[in-house]
Structure 1
Amino acid sequence: MATDTRIAPADTDGPLTVSITRRVRPQDELLMQAWVHAGTSMAERFDGFLGAGWVRSGEQDWHMLYRFDSRAHLDAWERSTERMRWLRSAADLVEHRRTEYRTGIEGWFDEPETRSIPDVTESPTAAAVPPPRWKQATVIWLAFFPTSLALTVLLAPVSAGWPVVLRVLVSTLVATPWMTYVFLPFVTRLCGRWLRAAG
């Protein structure tokens, strides 16, 4: 596995999404799935972990995402003994291609703010092209509509007499963390192939 050579991400107080591209032989798909699952199981035990996912591109490239709520929590995971051992366990399984750091909710979609330098022993790889804005908007809507509908139905019995501002306040206080940390990453992973398809 190639060394994880990269430009350090800029300091930020907000959540960070890390996108990693790794290459795996097609015959090792089941081993790769088990390895990714093991890494996610470890990462979710660290403070600030917000979620993870992966999508395949072609037969060999795997694009993996994980997200932490702050740079400090991300650093704790990336420098941990557990992660180092986990990475070493796949030395004969995966070839590291690129690491990218992204910020904000669009970190699940957009061009990274900072990207790694490919290892000198590998051929350079092109940066991932973000999906068109209309696809990003569609995925956000797919997460927003059922969330909004469910909250309207669930809150209606108790909030019928509330002022509009209070109803909207409570609804958005519930919807925002659910969308950001749980449902939008899930829908994004579900639609990953379509998001990255041309057009």
Structure 2
Amino acid sequence: MSEPQTHPVLLLVSRRAKPGHEAEFEWLMAEFITAAKVFPGCLGAQLVHPGDDEAVEDTLYHALMAFKDAGSLEAWQQSAERAAGTASIAPYIDGPAVVRGISGLAHWFQPQPGPKQGQPPRWKVAVVTWLGIFPTVYLLFLLLGEVLAPWSLFARIFLLTVLVVIIMTWGVAPQLTRLLRPWLFPSATPKLKGASVNRSP
């Protein structure tokens, strides 16, 4: 029987406000975020407003919520507080909400199915994580630096960190752990040369 997830998880919910109803949407979303922040197991919640570029009329908002584990997230998703908040916001939403769950980073370094292996030392995890994050962040800055320059600092950090987590989780980290697996998970029981095995008749 598998153990429940105990690492933090992120929930990213994107909703587009109906044009002309942004004020009502923001007011109700502020109440929704407040309810999420005080919910048991919630580590924090924040509403990200559309970009400040006046040339682009966008009404897409992002709510980012962090929970201590998958069980806390599930409890929030099934709660009366969330149901009431979602119902109050529904009349001011243009189109369906887009919900994305982003797992914590611990599962990058979980041993693969097969013979039981211990977890790698934390310093090895830190080295491999840095080897993946540094070039990923550097490349994102080169590609998006000028595009994101007009955005607020919070919005830039929010987008970049979400992109880093996504790229690391489904791209860079699996490749690094596969490449460095002999170093991360060295054999704990090396075979002894010349050892004899007694077999019962």
TM range (shorter): 0.3 to 0.5
Q: Which has the larger radius of gyration?
A: 2
TM-score of the two chains, using structure 1 as the length reference: 0.48
Higher share of residues assigned strand: 1
TM-score of the two chains, using structure 2 as the length reference: 0.47
